[in-house]
């Protein structure tokens, strides 16, 4: 093999390497563009899903708003019927919350305090109940476990 043949082989190898580099650079640009398109598409889809869920949630509350309008239209009615109407609207609101996955929990006085499900907003000296027992439910909790929207606000018995 002559020096001339070696130089020719080096030139061919360099040309082949440049071509390979060019192909790899093109491939990287295509993959980068594909990834950028994927990122934009998934962001758009996430936004669309959030809009759909927002619309579904608002639509679920329409029945409550409609019934509040009816109650306001009859504000001059008998006070007892107004109270019954408000109770009915309250039941509708609870049903909407339950359909959305956040049912109103039925905590009661006399049950044990659970720091996961309850928020102690006050304590009172334990009288006839044992310490750590719920004495009063100030505000109901909604949801359970990982889908808890908020804990119940309660007053808990303490031992002095």
Query: Has this prediction a pTM greater than 0.75?
Result: no
Mean pLDDT, range 55-84, rounded to an integer = 86
DSSP state for residue 154 in the 8-state scheme: E
Let me know whether 43 and 81 are in one domain.
yes
Name the residue range of residue 36's domain: 1-100
Alpha-carbon span 143 to 101, nearest angstrom: 7
Let me know whether 89 and 131 are in one domain.
no
Let me know whether 11 and 86 are in one domain.
yes
Locus of tokens 């309660």:
154
Residue 124, phi then psi, degrees to nearest 5: -135, 155
Describe the chain by its helix, strand, coil percentages, rounded to 5. 60, 15, 25
pLDDT in tens, 104-150: 998 889 999 999 899 999 999 988 889 999 999 999 999 988 889 99
CATH number at residue 158: 2.30.22.10
Let me know whether 78 and 114 are in one domain.
no
């Amino acid at each position: 093999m002559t020096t001339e043949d070696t130089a020719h082989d080096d030139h061919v190898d360099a040309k082949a390497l440049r071509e390979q580099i060019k192909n790899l650079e093109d491939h990287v640009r295509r993959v980068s563009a594909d990834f950028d398109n994927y990122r934009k598409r998934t962001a758009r889809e996430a936004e669309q899903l959030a809009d759909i869920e927002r619309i579904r949630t608002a639509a679920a509350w329409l029945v409550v708003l409609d019934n509040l309008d009816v109650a306001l239209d009859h504000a001059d009615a008998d006070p007892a019927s107004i109270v019954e109407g408000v109770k009915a609207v309250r039941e509708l609101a609870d049903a909407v919350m339950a359909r959305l996955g956040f049912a109103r929990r039925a905590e009661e006085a006399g049950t044990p305090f659970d720091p996961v499900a309850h928020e102690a907003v006050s304590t009172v000296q334990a009288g006839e109940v044992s310490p750590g027992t719920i004495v009063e439910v100030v505000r109901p909790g909604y949801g359970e476990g990982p889908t808890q929207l908020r804990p119940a606000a309660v007053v808990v018995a303490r031992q002095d």
